[in-house]
Amino acid sequence: MKNHKILLVLGLMLGAFSIAHAQGEQTITGNIISYGTRGYSGLRTGNFTLRVKSWTTEAQAQRFLGLLQESGQDKVLDEIRHEDVGSFSVNNNLSRTVNVARRTTVDGKIFIRVVFERWEQFAEIRGGYRSLDYPFGYVELTIDPATGKGTGQYFAAAKIRWKTDKKNGYHVEIEDYATFPAKLSNIKIENRN
């Protein structure tokens, strides 16, 4: 299975990002376009709602990054399970608790990155499938602050690793279990601050 990878350079995570602290809850809505998987090869469309009650602080993000470096994604998952900064839902399904939400501004654009413990299917737990090695849901949004509109992508099953290579140095790698992440479009952010 082909994996789609996004590299987040450590410098972007630590130095270049400045957190915009929003007052009150923010609601972000939009459309989701998912590409087929083994069981269903067609295209699926729907809606999503992201509600953020509070943003993960720089100190918390540093702690999670340290855990990732020292102990890997399983330790990070154990730690973030206790965090509740919002919710994420697709269509009419029950929402998942958002565990990490970071809002940053780079070159006049708002970037929102959200991590949560993903939905797991009974069959994958019963069968012990490889997909269980991808325990996170990951959402990445780019929003124009002037209009509150934007685009993004959603990884329904993601693996998060601390990697090093000659080109990028030390960085966080987010790997999608699916061939392609779902596309997020028609994004609208309410309660803009």
Q: Which residue has the higher pLDDT, 41 or 164?
A: 164
A 10 A CB-CB count for 108 gives 8
Between CA 103 and CA 23 the distance in angstroms is 13
Non-local CB neighbours of 92 within 8 Å, separated by 6+ positions: none
The closest of 153, 154, 141, 155 to 188, measured between CA atoms, is 141
Full-model pTM: 0.78
How does residue 191 score in pLDDT terms, banded at 50, 70 and 90? low
pLDDT tens digits along 119-135: 666 556 566 556 567 78
Between CA 27 and CA 146 the distance in angstroms is 16
pLDDT tens digits along 40-80: 567 889 999 999 999 999 999 999 988 888 888 888 889 99
Both tokens assigned to 49? 């709602």
What does the DSSP 8-state code read for residue 24? Answer: S
Per-residue model confidence (pLDDT) at position 123? 58
pLDDT tens digits along 16-26: 333 334 446 89
Torsion angle of C-alpha atoms 9, 11, 12, 17, degrees rounded to 10? 170
The closest of 90, 109, 128, 147 to 12, measured between CA atoms, is 109
Inter-residue contact 139 to 154 (CB < 8 Å): yes
Between CA 102 and CA 56 the distance in angstroms is 6
For tokens 């809505």, the residue is 29
What type of residue sits at position 59? A
Per-residue model confidence (pLDDT) at position 193? 55
Per-residue model confidence (pLDDT) at position 19? 36
Length of the chain: 193
Between CA 77 and CA 117 the distance in angstroms is 7
Q: How many angstroms separate the first and last alpha carbons of the chain? A: 41
